[in-house]
Structure 1
């Protein structure tokens, strides 16, 4: 099997879809469940630069949430603010799309990797602001609470939001680098023969 051909194939989003299906049911995770990988999934999906994949993943996220709620998960977050998950995930997708162009930029591998993780952290922060800010404004759950009180209440979620996304990002980035290294080794063996 030619790994380079696999990296360019339409089948590569399957692991991203699987990651979202397997982790979306538990936002921050627990002893038995991995944290939600959705933000990292949308980031890596941006590498494919296909808007249909973005639309598919948005529909899949909504379907997973529907199934989870139908099976007893709390519907607390399903308010008019739920629609703002579209720009939240679009930020991640566009950051991934931009990151995919970084390979053509000049710089060392370390510089490009740090840049990619920095972009992931920035996009994750913006996604946190969009999703939580829209929940405050449009959910009607915090009408008696000021912005500062709300920020104080949700600030403790930010480190979990950021760390789980960065961990998935680092693991995903390392897997891509590993696959590319294996592909380069395979190509080198074919050239020598």
Structure 2
């Protein structure tokens, strides 16, 4: 397996930049962009197999949250001991991306199966992150399954649309770049 470190660093840098812009809500005064976190971890898993990249992107997300809460006055309501449930939630997305790259590859024929995989991974990630917050975060007096299910109905659809949209944008960008620079398709194969 030959790894193209330059390609992987470029992918990581772009994902970090997009996450910085959307997660920090730095453009909130002008335009609200949906969070790219789940899509970023899926795309990272697809293109960058190194576990260190997963850790680095998670730490970036954590650092962004600490800065926007501590220095820019964003609400700390979601910053609870359950925050660490984001590790398995993002891990699901990263592993789904790795699985997609290994088993499906970057072909047009793989898109329907990859979309189903992405939907399932997003749902599992939502269960882990929202479920962790609801049941372990200490913000709800008596958390119950009956109380949690409506939250899935409320929060999963916009999360899914954002994840599908950002992942689709990443796939389109990679396809366009592959047409311009065919050697990138070789970089993606391992």
So what's the TM-score if we normalise by structure 2?
A: 0.84
Query: Where does structure 1 lack aligned partners over 5 or more consecutive residues?
Result: 186-193
Aligned CA distance change for structure 1 residues 9 and 168 (closer, same or farther; 3 Å)? closer
Q: Which runs of 4+ in 1 moved over 6 A?
A: none
Alignment length, in residue pairs?
177
2:86 matched to 1:111? no
Name the residue aligned to 2:99: 98
2:176 matched to 1:175? no
1:58 and 1:86 in contact (8 A); partners too:
yes
2:85 and 2:132 in contact (8 A); partners too:
yes
Aligned CA distance change for structure 1 residues 79 and 119 (closer, same or farther; 3 Å)? same
CA RMSD of aligned residues (A): 2.4
Name the residue aligned to 1:164: 162
Aligned CA distance change for structure 1 residues 99 and 148 (closer, same or farther; 3 Å)? same
2:79 matched to 1:81? no
2:68 and 2:74 in contact (8 A); partners too:
yes
Query: Where does structure 2 lack aligned partners over 5 or more consecutive residues?
Result: 184-190
Q: Distance in 2 between matches of 1:92 and 1:134?
A: 16
Aligned CA distance change for structure 1 residues 154 and 119 (closer, same or farther; 3 Å)? closer
Name the residue aligned to 1:142: 140
Q: Distance in 2 between matches of 1:115 and 1:7?
A: 29
Residue deviations 1:96-143 (CA, integer Å, cap 9, x gap): 1111113559xxx44301112221111101000001111122112112
Q: Distance in 1 between matches of 2:181 and 2:88?
A: 35
Q: Distance in 1 between matches of 2:155 and 2:95?
A: 23
